[in-house]
């Protein structure tokens, strides 16, 4: 029970438990539902319109047929598990979010209204970072599952059947990916930060072909030295995120000379790739 444990560590919290948290004051017009997908660093909830939930559960009549349309979230509520001992640390996180918003723009990230709250839990008063985020309806892009000469075409055939091969959405998705890669590379070079692109479900493609980064609280410092950065889960997330950019350049953008760039030259030495592979294997063994 959340009362006796802590929001940072507890594996699962229910919508009812979130509603009882001291910093939540939900409008009666909204309904909270735990999202069916979760990561390791946040608790994620759908914020739904009660009328939509009622249609989903009670159904609605249309042309004599009762339909049960899925309630689409109005927003996503993220409660970060991260422990902040000082307010400045939470503000640093918010600054990183502001930075990716500046570099990628609202077109390429699920925009979030970040807010810092005082949480009264088992350990007394603590700082928590939350976000009310735009919900992105689409399918996760797995960079390691891009096959064939036209991988985005295959992605659309698999996830959005019925769309024309090489159609408008496929073209838009390829264009979105190209812009996204360029913008992320600029951020990595100019600011020395890269978003975690390697995590499961971090990148979503919509049916219209827009690409959005949804995991916006996981921004990694890029160190141009020999040390391989491991994140709090002991995953080489910086090197793997650079790898995602390279895969997209090679397989989607068809850029034959992508490895010439400074970013890749640093991260893609044979010796470094081997060390990253070993660290990754270790991560999965301990999983
Ligand atoms: N705004 C959003 N719209 C749609 N899906 C989302 C949104 N935010 C998160 N998701 C999905 O929820 C799942 C978990 O999200 P996310 O990766 O951001 O979790 P996390 O706990 O913050 O991070 P981590 O992956 O580092 O553990 C992913 O599958 C992601 O696609
Ligand atoms: Mg993630």
Q: Are 225 and 112 found together in one domain?
A: no
Helix axes 87-104, 168-190, angle to 10 degrees: 130
Please report which confidence band the pLDDT of residue 165 belongs to, taking 50, 70 and 90 as the band edges.
low
Q: What is the mean pLDDT of residues 14-35?
A: 95
CATH number of the domain to which 32 belongs: 3.30.200
Please report which confidence band the pLDDT of residue 256 belongs to, taking 50, 70 and 90 as the band edges.
confident
103-146 tens-digit pLDDT: 999 999 999 999 999 999 888 899 999 999 999 999 999 999 99
Q: Are 33 and 159 found together in one domain?
A: no
User: By alpha-carbon position, which residue is closest to atom 29 of ligand 1?
Assistant: 201
Does 3 map to a domain? no
* Among 133, 156, 174, residue at a domain's last position: 133
Ligand number with the minimum distance to the CA of 214: 1
60-117 tens-digit pLDDT: 999 999 999 999 999 999 999 999 999 999 999 999 999 999 999 999 999 999 999 9
User: By alpha-carbon position, which residue is closest to atom 2 of ligand 1?
Assistant: 135
Q: What percent of the chain has pLDDT over 90?
A: 87
Q: What is the mean pLDDT of residues 169-173?
A: 96
What pLDDT is stored for residue 262 in this prediction?
A: 84
Please report which confidence band the pLDDT of residue 182 belongs to, taking 50, 70 and 90 as the band edges.
very high
Q: Are 161 and 264 found together in one domain?
A: yes
User: By alpha-carbon position, which residue is closest to atom 5 of ligand 1?
Assistant: 136
Q: What is the mean pLDDT of residues 219-229?
A: 95
**Does 55 have pLDDT greater than 80?**
yes
Q: Are 213 and 115 found together in one domain?
A: no
What pLDDT is stored for residue 3 in this prediction?
A: 54
Q: Which residue range is the domain that position 77 belongs to? A: 15-56+70-133
Q: Are 160 and 32 found together in one domain?
A: no
CA of 104 to the centre of ligand 2 (A): 17
What pLDDT is stored for residue 286 in this prediction?
A: 85
Q: Are 123 and 186 found together in one domain?
A: no
Indicate the top mutation candidate among 9, 35, 44 to test ligand 1's pocket, ranked by most ligand atoms within 8 A of CB: 44
Do residues 127 and 119 make contact, with C-beta atoms less than 8 angstroms apart? Answer: yes
Q: Are 212 and 273 found together in one domain?
A: yes
Distance (Å, whole) CA 176 – CA 182: 10
Distance (Å, whole) CA 74 – CA 52: 10
CA angle centred on 97, ends 93 and 103, rounded to 5°:
140
Does 122 map to a domain? yes
Q: Are 143 and 127 found together in one domain?
A: no
Q: Are 169 and 127 found together in one domain?
A: no
Q: What is the mean pLDDT of residues 219-224?
A: 95
Which residues, 6+ apart, have CB-to-CB distance to 153 below 8 Å? 165, 166, 170
What pLDDT is stored for residue 2 in this prediction?
A: 54
b/e burial code for range 153-178 (CB count within 10 A of at least 16 → b): bbbbeeebeebeeeeebbebbbebbb
> Which residue, among 23, 37, 208, has the nearest Cα to 131 in the 3D structure?
23
Tokens of 267: 């991260």
15 or 5, higher pLDDT: 15
Q: What is the mean pLDDT of residues 162-184?
A: 90
Mean pLDDT (the chain, rounded): 94
Pocket of ligand 1 (CB under 6 A): 35, 37-42, 44, 76, 110, 133-136, 140, 199-202, 204, 214-215, 217-218
What pLDDT is stored for residue 183 in this prediction?
A: 97
Do residues 200 and 39 make contact, with C-beta atoms less than 8 angstroms apart? Answer: yes
Does 168 map to a domain? yes
The residue written with tokens 């827009």 in the block is: 210
Q: Are 219 and 235 found together in one domain?
A: yes
Tokens of 95: 């600054």
Q: Are 44 and 154 found together in one domain?
A: no
Does 7 map to a domain? no
What is the count of structural domains for the chain? 2
Tokens of 7: 């929001």
Q: What percent of the chain has pLDDT over 70?
A: 97
Please report which confidence band the pLDDT of residue 164 belongs to, taking 50, 70 and 90 as the band edges.
low
What pLDDT is stored for residue 1 in this prediction?
A: 46
Tokens of 232: 């709090």
What pLDDT is stored for residue 6 in this prediction?
A: 85
Neighbours of 227 (CB within 10 A): 6
Helix axes 151-159, 168-190, angle to 10 degrees: 120
Please state, in angstroms and as integers, the Cα–Cα distance from residue 241 to each residue in 91, 152, 180, 200, following that order: 24, 19, 13, 12
Q: Which residues pair with 130 in a beta bridge?
A: 79, 115
Q: Are 144 and 276 found together in one domain?
A: yes
Do residues 205 and 141 make contact, with C-beta atoms less than 8 angstroms apart? Answer: yes
């Amino acid at each position: 029970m959340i009362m006796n444990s802590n929001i940072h560590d507890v594996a699962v919290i229910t919508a009812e438990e979130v509603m009882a948290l001291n910093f939540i004051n939900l409008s009666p017009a909204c309904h909270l539902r735990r999202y069916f997908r979760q990561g390791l660093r946040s608790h994620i909830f759908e914020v739904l319109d009660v009328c939509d939930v009622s249609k989903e559960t009670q159904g609605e009549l249309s042309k004599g047929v009762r339909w049960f349309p899925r309630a689409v979230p109005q927003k996503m509520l993220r409660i970060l598990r991260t422990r902040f001992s000082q307010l400045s640390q939470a503000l640093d996180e918010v600054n990183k979010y502001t930075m990716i918003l500046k570099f990628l723009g609202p077109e390429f990230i699920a925009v979030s209204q970040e807010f810092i709250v005082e949480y009264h839990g088992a350990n007394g008063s603590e700082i928590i970072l939350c976000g009310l985020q735009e919900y992105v309806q689409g399918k996760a892009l797995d960079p390691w599952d891009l096959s064939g000469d036209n991988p985005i075409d295959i992605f659309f055939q698999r996830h959005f059947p019925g769309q024309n091969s090489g159609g408008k959405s496929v073209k838009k998705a390829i264009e979105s990916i190209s812009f996204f890669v360029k913008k992320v590379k600029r951020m990595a070079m100019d600011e020395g930060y890269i978003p975690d692109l390697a995590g499961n479900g971090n990148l979503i493609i919509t049916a219209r072909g827009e690409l959005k980064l949804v995991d916006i609280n996981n921004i990694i410092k890029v160190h141009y030295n020999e040390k391989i950065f491991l994140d709090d889960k002991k995953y080489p997330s910086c090197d793997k995120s650079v790898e995602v950019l390279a895969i997209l350049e090679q397989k989607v953008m068809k850029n034959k000379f992508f490895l010439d760039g400074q970013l890749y030259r640093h991260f893609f030495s044979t010796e470094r790739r081997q060390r990253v592979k070993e660290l990754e294997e270790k991560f999965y063994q301990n999983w």
